[in-house]
Amino acid sequence: MPLSGRWTLTRYLIEERRRFPGATGDLNALILDVALACKAIARIVAFGTLADTVGTSMPGGANGTAAVGGGVNVQGEVQKPLDVLSNEIFIRMNEWNGHLAGLASEEMEAPKQIPGSYPRGKYLLVFDPLDGSSNIDVNVSVGSIFSILRAPEEVIDSGRDVVEADFLQPGAAQVAAGYAIYGPTTMLVLSVGNGVAGFTLNPNLGEFVLSHADIRVPEQTQEFAINTSNSRFWEPPVKRYVAECLAGQTGARGKDFNMRWIASMVAEAHRILMRGGVFLYPRDTKDPARPGRLRLLYEANPMGFIVEQAGGRASTGRQPILGVNPGALHQRIGFVFGSKAEVERIERYHHEPVPSEAPAPLFAPRSLFRD
């Protein structure tokens, strides 16, 4: 592995390809096109509310018109203009290159077909074009998440249009995954199945340059991230875990914890990769029709792949996230990831019998995290 800052993303991918003499280079080219889309989105995000006044250039050299938000996507969420524009950038930067059989996005109800005028390839691209977009108005870091899968042999051989079932592959089948974070600096964090590397965008060169050669998640931590406003809907194992963290040195854990919550999963994941921690967006009872909040294909699988490649653990709370067989394109799921020891503890709590509690005295103090 090179000294940090010496290699560009292109050189890193070339060196990784050399481990597989029979590789065609299609995966490298696809990742570079994804990285180019992330550069374009980073530039637009950097303008914030000024983006509509400075004008943008769409990929391919054509001048793009301002994106229109306010619609509701398939997730039932109101789209912001940058959600729409980021989705369009991902499509336009990747549909023409001949490496893809199809695309799927959090912002689109059905898979996106490759136009007949372009060649088709052997990979599928799944992405969340702008994670945490609700934070743009308050200038908090946001990002893009992507996952690359192999298209089924039937699709490659026949050249037929992709269907939803082609994308329903477990996270362990991912060929590569990554995210870009648009913050004080723009970074691309990537795994091609051989550890995790981080690249910082050098604005003078316009290139992603290797800055974090071998990212590893610390096994131990004293930080956790969870949305406590949902505490009344948590299952008992999650309540137990959070209560023990809050009890600090005088509690069962014997140490103090800090709680974080950014409400941008890319930002949460990046902090955990850099210094450890655990993130919980668990299954709860808030909406019985939704077994979780986060999307399995667009968020949990790619982040789980990255975290596990970095030595951490990613789970539903009950089982490894990468072993879940997806049942739908926009499936939601409970998600816990981060430092290995903490995630394993949370899994253990889910598998242990729930301890019975005696009725609380009428005037006993009530904990925030108890029913």
pLDDT digits (tens, 9 = 90+) for 44-78: 999 877 766 555 555 444 444 445 555 666 666 66
Query: Beta-strand (E) ranges in the chain?
Result: 100-105, 112-113, 123-131, 142-150, 176-182, 186-191, 197-202, 207-212, 223-225, 258-260, 278-281, 294-295, 313-315, 332-333, 335-338
> Is 90 exceeded by the pLDDT of residue 370?
no
Whether 187 and 240 map to the same domain: the answer is: no
Whether 232 and 199 map to the same domain: the answer is: no
Q: Is residue 217 part of a domain?
A: no
Query: Beta-strand (E) ranges in 115-234?
Result: 123-131, 142-150, 176-182, 186-191, 197-202, 207-212, 223-225
Picking from 157, 23, 172, the residue whose alpha carbon sits closest to that of residue 101 is: 157
Q: Is residue 282 part of a domain?
A: yes
Distance of CA 310 to the CA centre of its chain: 14
Whether 178 and 244 map to the same domain: the answer is: no
State the residue range of the domain holding 90.
Answer: 9-212
Whether 189 and 120 map to the same domain: the answer is: yes
Whether 41 and 140 map to the same domain: the answer is: yes
Residue 276 in contact with residue 190, Cβ under 8 Å? no
Give the pLDDT confidence of 152-178 residue by residue, as tens digits: 999 999 999 999 999 999 999 999 999
Sequence letter at residue 321: I
Q: Identify the bridge partners of residue 212 per DSSP, sorted by sequence position.
A: 198
More confident residue, 58 or 28: 28
Q: Is residue 67 part of a domain?
A: yes
Whether 153 and 302 map to the same domain: the answer is: no
Whether 230 and 181 map to the same domain: the answer is: no
Number of domains in the chain: 2
Residue 137 has which token pair? 């108005």
Q: Is residue 356 part of a domain?
A: no
> Is 90 exceeded by the pLDDT of residue 150?
yes
Go through the chain and tell me how many residues it has: 371
More confident residue, 79 or 86: 86
User: Measured between alpha carbons, how far is residue 219 from residues 284, 307, 310 in Å?
Assistant: 26, 11, 10
